[in-house]
Amino acid sequence: MRLLRALLRSASPGSIPQQVDFYSRFSPSPLSMKQFLDFGSENACEKTSFMFLRQELPVRLANIMKEISLLPDNLLKTPSVQLVQSWYVQSLQEILDFKDKSSEDSGAIHSFTDTVIKIRNRHNDVIPTMAQGVIEYKESFGIDPVTSQNVQYFLDRFYMSRISIRMLLNQHSLLFGGKINPAHPKHIGSIDPSCNVVEVIRDGYESAKRLCDLYYMSSPELILEELNAKSPGQPMQVVYVPSHLYHMVFELFKNAMRATMEHNADRCIYPSIHVHITLGNEDLTVKMSDRGGGVPMRKIDRLFNYMYSTAPRPRVETSQATPLAGFGYGLPISRLYAQYFQGDLKLYSLEGYGTDAVIYIKALSTDSIERLPVYNKAAWKHYKANHEADDWCVPSSEPKDMTTFRSI
């Protein structure tokens, strides 16, 4: 709270709230994967990126800052949410400092790149810190259905905004930060123009397998099948961000392995995890099937709820901790990564048998367009709406006693 007030006072009086109000009137400008790729490979110009980002970043920051302000007061007062707010205020102020700088000033452009890297590093722990804030609120005040619905709506949009802002920061810093990753010299920023899907999936499996072996002293095998229906006989490649795909499959492998090991613990025989990859004209589809016992249909939606987790809650203090284990954020964040470029992640479960997890990714870079939240009247109404009675009958847990029925 003190840090946030200090940051607001350090700017000119009322400037940050006024700037947030101003920039939130504009809608973010979604970019396609092809635009990211073309800019980085053909027209990589630090000056052009500088001019775009100093306008676009304040818009994306301000839009989500307006939504943060609509959260319940007691949630806003938690130390963790206050800390996140202070990061956003500070980052917005630092970007706005370049608003009137000349695009011909090479010193200003170089300084801007340094600022972008600093902002990216500052926001490294946004996800676990916001998660901690929600936990603090839940433990102190509980969660009613209306608040739960609003927090779910907000976190989906907040984390999607965070993914998009980080994408912009990464592209600029990787292209113009002066450092090229020798392991991936052909990457355009964080994008691989020829992302080898099978290789990324195997990497995700091996990482999850190491964790599984450490915890359970064994792990399920991987059976992988691929079908390139678009170009038979050719490698399975798409234009994509490998780190996003890795995040998704690593999370799915962890869940599949845990379910498989625990469901089959008595037999000590652990069925393999099957992964099918298909590349069509429009979609790249990855289906992961396990024999981990599945979950009841009524629990499927809970798996994407930020308030729900099937693992013990960990103590997470920094980004160096095991990524989000126990926060219940693995699946919902993975789904956001899939949806970010117009894909999706869905679960189909057979209770008593196992679960199929399906990732959909756009096969064409022109179709892979950012999915961005925008602050407007519709979003505002969502936070202010009251929880109304359901317009469908709610089944009773007890059968109706027909002996008491009276005809009218």
Residue 340 near residue 163, CB atoms below 8 Å: yes
Residue 408, H or E segment: none
Distance, CA of 132 to CA of 149 (rounded, Å):
18
Structure tokens at 100: 């009137």
Residue 294 near residue 351, CB atoms below 8 Å: yes
Q: Give how far Cα 209 sits from Cα of 47, 321, 333, Å.
A: 44, 18, 21
- Beta strands (DSSP E) in 167-210 are 192-196
Closest CA to 243 of 184, 308, 158: 184
Closest CA to 135 of 75, 64, 70, 71: 75
104 is catalytic: no
Q: Which residue in the list 67, 170, 172, 251 is annotated as catalytic?
A: 251
255 is catalytic: yes
SS3 content of the chain, % helix, strand, coil (to 5): 50, 10, 35
Q: Which residue in the list 123, 254, 263, 274 is annotated as catalytic?
A: 254
Max intra-chain CA distance, the chain:
86
Distance, CA of 150 to CA of 173 (rounded, Å):
34
Torsion angle in degrees (nearest 10) through CA of 60, 61, 66, 71? 110
Distance, CA of 313 to CA of 357 (rounded, Å):
24
Q: Where are the alpha helices (DSSP H) in 284-356?
A: 297-300, 330-340
Q: Which residue in the list 255, 274, 362, 370 is annotated as catalytic?
A: 255
Positions annotated as catalytic residues are 247, 251, 254-255
